[in-house]
């Protein structure tokens, strides 16, 4: 009802709410531009200082007379010995620097294994095999159904044949078949992409946490590809979903020692013998999340490979919280009350992951963040710890340090929490969410499916920085930073997304996961 005296309509509560929302929106936009202005000012502070100094110096030099210039030349002539000595020292120091500095390590290319369509396991097939196994109590069958529906996994993930078969046959022979299919499939595609021969590879690092046959998986690859006798090979086991980045870090360090060398990294997980057949709910979660997959990555320290490589490895940061008992036991393989082996996920998992992430980014931040963000973080820290001011901790804007994010697709709860804590957008989280939807949790190889998705969408431009981050048992949080050496053209790429990339992204509603 209007005001009869003024003729103005009465302001309703909904109008007030809209006005407040509009005001908050305008304030947010203003704050955004203030932050951008601050970032620009601090990032270019060196230029703002140097330009006036150069202008003043040039003006001063221009006022020197011919007599002054001759005097300077005379002074230089009499000190020729000192100049030669100083120049020699500079040359020696420069040579030592270039000879002792770390070699640049390039990521030449990578490949992700895409299983045969016959291995696709939609939710209905998964539940059918779960029920027919006859080992799960009805309430735990329903529990797995709820986990599956809320996990973020889609209808096209893959299971090994041994677990799809009726009855299932999780024996050693079938586990070897799965390992060979995944690893050889990824390596074959990688060698085809790069044109590198197996005998040219000097370093081999393979990681698989739960399947450790004798001979090892690395020996399986050496035997299959008839690699050379002096190859430096490693087989990493029991290191969880972050083992892929540990392998990258290990290969990178080895390439600092072995000159003119190629390193092959193979990351996978084997689930044929590691499906849990019991009724402990903390162990049943992994049945619903893990799926078949693997990746192969070729690294090089040859300067001649720079022109054909996709990325340069800039940083690898490893954080290990194993000294803390709660962290050590939050992802733990053990026997249940009935003697059946499984991997138990603790309720403390999210809290432990948060602590590990904090420690990791505290080390990574100063290496990748612009000075503007470091000053804000340091200023807030001083205010809270020294001045005892009651203010929130400042969360650095990592979007100023990276263009792309590949966060291990461990589950929806993990992705939701990281999106919130790092203040990322849906666009930044898209590669991780779509990888979880399409391929499930493929353990350490999931990061490479995510990078392949980013490439398939044509998002990688020359100079772009990508942050890979993964969590693993122990408990560990590991990071790797890459810089693109060229723009990736999707039409020239061969990766597991290319024949269906236009179908993504698909809507994935954010629902609190049972895992959390």
Strand ranges (DSSP E) for 281-345? 294-300, 311-320, 331-335, 341-345
CB 411 within 8 A of CB 515: yes
Q: Evaluate whether 322 touches 296 at the Cβ level (below 8 Å).
A: no
CA pair distance 338, 136, nearest whole angstrom = 12
Cis peptide before 215 (omega within 30 of 0): yes
C-alpha span between 142 and 127 (Å, rounded): 9
Of 484, 482, 483, 480, nearest to 245 by C-alpha is 480
Nearest to 244 by CA among 198, 283, 209: 209
Range list of β-strands (E), 381-464? 404-407
Helices (H), 196-280: 217-225, 243-257
Within 10 Å of residue 242's Cβ, how many Cβ atoms? 31
Which residues are within 8 A (CB) of 95 and not within 5 positions of it... i.e. 6 or more apart? none
Q: CA–CA distance from 130 to each of 124, 160, 183, 219 (Å)? A: 10, 14, 27, 34
Which active-site residues does the annotation give? 241, 320, 404, 408, 441
DSSP, res 158: B
Chain CA centroid to CA 304, Å: 27
Spatial CA neighbour of 113 closest among 298, 294, 323, 352: 294
Counts for the chain of helices (H) and strands (E), in that order:
17, 11
CA-wise closest residue to 310 among 486, 103, 458: 486
User: Of all helices (H) and strands (E), which one includes residue 415?
Assistant: helix 412-421
- Of 478, 410, 463, 140, the C-alpha closest to 277 is 140
Q: Which residues have C-beta within 8 Å of that of residue 310, sequence separation ≥ 6? A: 107, 108, 109, 110, 484, 485, 486, 488
Query: Nearest to residue 469, comparing CAs of 344, 388, 357, 332?
Result: 357
CA–chain centroid gap for 350, Å, is 18
Residues 6+ apart with CB under 8 A from 84: none
């Amino acid at each position: 009802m209007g005001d009869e005296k003024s003729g103005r309509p009465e302001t309703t509560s909904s109008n007030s709410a809209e006005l407040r929302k509009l005001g908050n929106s305008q304030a947010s936009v203003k704050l955004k531009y203030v932050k951008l202005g601050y970032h620009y000012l601090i990032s270019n502070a060196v230029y703002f200082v140097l330009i006036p100094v150069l202008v003043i110096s040039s003006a001063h030099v221009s006022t020197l007379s011919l007599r002054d210039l001759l005097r300077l030349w005379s002074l230089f002539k009499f000190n020729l010995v000192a100049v030669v000595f100083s120049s020699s020292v500079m040359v020696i120091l420069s040579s030592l620097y270039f000879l002792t500095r770390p070699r640049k390590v390039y990521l030449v290319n990578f490949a992700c294994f895409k299983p045969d369509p016959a291995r696709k396991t939609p939710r209905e097939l998964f539940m059918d095999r779960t029920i027919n196994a006859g080992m799960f109590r009805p309430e735990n069958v329903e529990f797995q159904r709820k986990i599956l529906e809320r996990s973020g996994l889609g209808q096209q993930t893959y299971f090994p044949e041994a677990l799809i078969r009726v009855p299932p046959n999780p024996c050693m022979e079938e586990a070897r078949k799965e390992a060979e299919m995944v690893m050889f499939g990824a390596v074959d595609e990688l060698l085809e992409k790069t044109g590198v021969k197996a005998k040219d590879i000097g370093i081999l690092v393979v990681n698989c946490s739960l399947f450790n046959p004798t001979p090892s998986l690395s020996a399986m690859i050496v035997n299959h590809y008839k690699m050379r006798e002096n190859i430096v090979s490693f087989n990493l086991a029991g290191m969880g979903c972050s083992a892929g980045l540990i392998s990258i870090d290990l290969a990178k360090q080895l390439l600092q020692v072995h000159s003119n060398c190629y390193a092959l990294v193979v990351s996978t997980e084997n689930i044929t013998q590691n499906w849990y057949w019991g009724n402990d709910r903390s162990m049943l979660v992994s049945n619903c999340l893990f799926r078949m997959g693997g990746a192969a990555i070729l690294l090089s320290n040859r300067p001649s490979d720079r022109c054909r490589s996709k990325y340069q490895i800039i940083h690898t940061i490893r954080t290990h919280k194993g000294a803390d008992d709660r962290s050590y036991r939050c992802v733990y393989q053990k026997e249940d009350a009935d003697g059946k082996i499984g991997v138990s996920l603790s309720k403390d998992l999210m809290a432990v992951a948060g602590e590990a992430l904090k420690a990791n980014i505290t080390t990574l931040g100063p290496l990748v963040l612009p000075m503007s963000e470091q000053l804000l973080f340091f200023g807030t820290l001083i205010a809270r710890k020294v001045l005892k001011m009651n203010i929130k901790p400042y969360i650095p804007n990592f979007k100023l340090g990276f263009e792309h994010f590949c966060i291990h697709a461990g589950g929806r709860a993990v992705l939701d929490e990281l999106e919130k804590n790092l203040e990322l957008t849906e666009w930044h989280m898209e590669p991780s969410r779509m990888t979880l939807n399409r391929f499930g949790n493929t353990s350490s190889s999931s990061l490479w499916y995510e990078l392949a998705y980013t490439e398939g969408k044509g998002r990688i431009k020359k100079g772009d920085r990508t942050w890979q981050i993964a969590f693993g048992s122990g408990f560990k949080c590991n990071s790797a930073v890459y810089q693109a050496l060229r723009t990736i053209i999707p039409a020239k790429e061969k990766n597991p997304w290319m024949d269906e990339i236009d179908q993504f992204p698909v809507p994935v509603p954010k629902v609190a996961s049972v895992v959390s």
